[in-house]
Structure 1
Amino acid sequence: MDHYKTYSSEDFVWDKYFRQWVLKPTRESDEEWNNWLAKNQDLRLRVQQAREIVNALSVSEHSLTKLEIDGIIQQTMSRLSASSPKLQRRNSSIRRSIVYSTGIRVPAILFAFIVLGGLVWFFTAPVNPQKTDGSVQTNLPLFQEGRLVEKSNFTEKPLVINLEDGSKIHLQKGSRIRYPEPFAKNLREIHLQGEAFFEVAKNPERPFWVYTQELVTKVLGTSFWIRAYDESKEIVVKVKTGRVSVFSMEGNKPQKKRTNIRERQGVILTPNQQIVFSRSEIRMVKSLVKEPTIITSNPVFQQFEFEDRPVSEVFFLLKKAYGVDIIYNEDLMFSCPLTANLNGLSLYQKLDVICKAVESEYEIIDGQIVIHGTGCKS
């Protein structure tokens, strides 16, 4: 691989073997490139710049709306008219490279526009160095009203990203987000690859949308997790506070996705609920999170010591504390008494004790707790 020592970032972008490593890495290619980079530390920044460009150009079809496509073409054409003669002379060789490119799923003509626009930006924009916190921010070509910002986290710690609307994103290791800056007047959109925790500033007039490859999550103001690594078999959305709607992208054509999605209600998640989307089965399963947490700050709903209290009151307190629906037959269990100290126990441990005391069982169905029992002994 000695010939790569003389490569510019542009050369790396057009190198087939390099693009395959970036877009479809294998254990062997990862090992080979990482070993080469370890011996050529002075080229790391050049390689990183090329990686960012290749990833930016590999936007899959379903991530692009018609409006974005029109914007890319229009702005790219205007930039090309002002670009250098050197870049224009490369046009024919660029077209030939596109014919043989692999791992890029946008149509060839559109891809050409994106590539040319990316290279115009690359030659005219200032270098985006790696920050001291290990993150990389790339200011990509303009989409619609503003620029498209991309941030990646290559560190071991979460990267905190403060957005202009007051929202905050905790981007996890090996993850990446893209978003317009500034947001549109009536919409806030984020594209995520990997995992992140979102704290969204409430604004009913500007709903917040998070796009992954197969799922879309809509919120008004809440906090939630999304885990959607490319190599994972599942996508998981977990809600900490507030409410979110989750939609599957399956079956929608790229041009119609946003319109169709916004006309649908989606699967509603409330605190301590989650959606697990199976990529192989193309199926969403709604359930409770593994360890539900107390969501209220009211001390009244944080004390779990009972003496001869009707179990109906206990269920009501648990519902308020954890924000989870508890379904049971009130006629059968209304007057069942409970004496127990449940402080310090998890929600599931509390339920185990309660159900044993009133001779019942529980199960989780569609993110709700369902109690089965025949009532108390007379």
Structure 2
Amino acid sequence: MTPEAFKEILTRYCQGQCTPQEEALVQEWYDTIDTSNRQALPEEQRIILEAKAWSQLSARVRDGRQPRFHLLYKIAACLALFVLAAGGWYYFTHTPDAPVASITADTLPAGWRAEYNRGQTPRMILLTDGSRVMLYPGSTLCFPQTFNRGRREVTLTGEGFFDVQRDTLSPFLVYTQEVTTRVLGTSFTIKAYANAPEITVAVATGRVAVYKQKPGTPLDAAAVVLSPNQQAVYNRQNDRVKKALVAHPRIIPAASANPTMSYEAASVTSIFQALEESYGVDFVYDETTVTGCTLTTTLTDEDLHARIRIVCEAIGATYTVQDTSIVITGTGCP
């Protein structure tokens, strides 16, 4: 993607006219800006960081609460639109070619090593950049003894949970034959067993971009961008990637330190909003059907689906999972 194309996406984002995929790309770009060493950042990233801080402060002053993240993305994107330099967008939008994708334990180049898990319990692998991989039984991880500057690449056969050390200037790529996963710093699980019909990438924290790629071919330019509690499922038979909600969504660590939710005659709308923010999952419902509905309840150790059922049963509604959203259907309060 060229700088001009990325600026066009930012322009459409500010105007509310971009596609869901373009919106996810802007959000991924926004989240990759490293706040740990402000002085070492390029000028364009410092400007974006200032926009980020200002939007958070102004939102708190305006209504006394934490701002919704999509507003922060829009403010930062619009303020940064005309100061993005060519070097600033590259790491967020560049789709790399990947000769490494074909590396296996049988074709290791010089300077690479393979780690196996032939046991019955998960095995922890520590990489030289500080990233950690929980390698599950029957799995193989191949990686260089020292990562190249500008790109960290590994190949996986089987299943692994990755906790990747953040480095905004050095993307981390995991190759699994037909699928490539690209991150800057996050945690996620990949299941890519050789004889399984599907490859899945499920995100725990941060954002992950998933590309289709078969050995010897370039990456598919269209990425599926995942947020926490989302997964990409690649079907080997039809060569398609589907974005979906993970089977058991968990509360996002940054959302709340206390998983207990206690309500006293609270509006159902406010409960849905709290669940949205806690799990990072969109709820779709007709607000007119729940206006005036209230509920007194305490949600403690239930999973997300159990919590939704409790609320739905109280108001005579049902729910379904459609892609990455929860769709509530009902006729109103009983």
Distance 1:273 1:166, change over 3 A: same
Distance 1:139 1:211, change over 3 A: closer
Please point out which of 162, 166, 175 is paired with 2:126.
162
Please point out which of 151, 161, 175 is paired with 1:197.
161
Q: Gapped runs of 5+ residues in structure 2?
A: 1-96
Q: Which has the higher contact order (CA 8 A, sep 6+)?
A: 2
Please point out which of 289, 305, 310 is paired with 1:348.
305
* Matching of residue 177 in structure 1 with residue 141 in structure 2: yes
Please point out which of 299, 314, 317 is paired with 1:357.
314
Distance 1:376 1:315, change over 3 A: same
The answer for the alignment partner of 1:270 in structure 2 is 227
Please point out which of 219, 231, 234 is paired with 2:198.
234
Q: How does 1:224-303 map to 2 (within 5 A)?
A: 224-249=188-213, 254=216, 257=218, 260-261=219-220, 264-296=221-253, 302-303=259-260
Post-superposition shift, 1:140?
Answer: 4.2
- Structure with the higher helix share, 1 or 2: 1
The answer for the alignment partner of 1:141 in structure 2 is 109
Counterparts of 1:151 and 1:315 in 2: how far apart (Å)? 44
Note if contact 1:178-1:192 (Cα within 8 Å) is conserved in structure 2.
yes
For the aligned residue pairs, the C-alpha RMSD in angstroms reads 2.7
Q: Which amino acid aligns with 1:244?
A: V
Runs of 4+ in 1 over 4 A off after TM superposition: 137-140, 297-301
Q: Which amino acid aligns with 2:208?
A: V
Post-superposition shift, 1:360?
Answer: 1.9
Q: Gapped runs of 5+ residues in structure 1?
A: 1-63, 70-105, 107-113, 115-136
Note if contact 1:138-1:150 (Cα within 8 Å) is conserved in structure 2.
no
Q: Deviations over 1:262-313 (max 9, x none)?
A: xx35112111122222212222232222222222266575222222101111
Counterparts of 2:158 and 2:247 in 1: how far apart (Å)? 20
Q: Which amino acid aligns with 2:177?
A: Q
For the pair shown, the structure with the greater C-alpha radius of gyration is 1
Q: How does 1:59-208 map to 2 (within 5 A)?
A: 65=98, 140-142=108-110, 147-208=111-172
* Matching of residue 209 in structure 1 with residue 173 in structure 2: yes
Counterparts of 1:309 and 1:357 in 2: how far apart (Å)? 12
Q: Which amino acid aligns with 2:152?
A: R
Q: Deviations over 1:115-156 (max 9, x none)?
A: xxxxxxxxxxxxxxxxxxxxxx999432xxxx1121111121
| TM-score, length-scaled by structure 1 | 0.57
Counterparts of 2:269 and 2:257 in 1: how far apart (Å)? 16
The answer for the alignment partner of 2:295 in structure 1 is 338
Distance 1:191 1:339, change over 3 A: same
Counterparts of 2:235 and 2:256 in 1: how far apart (Å)? 39
Q: Percentage identity across aligned positions?
A: 38
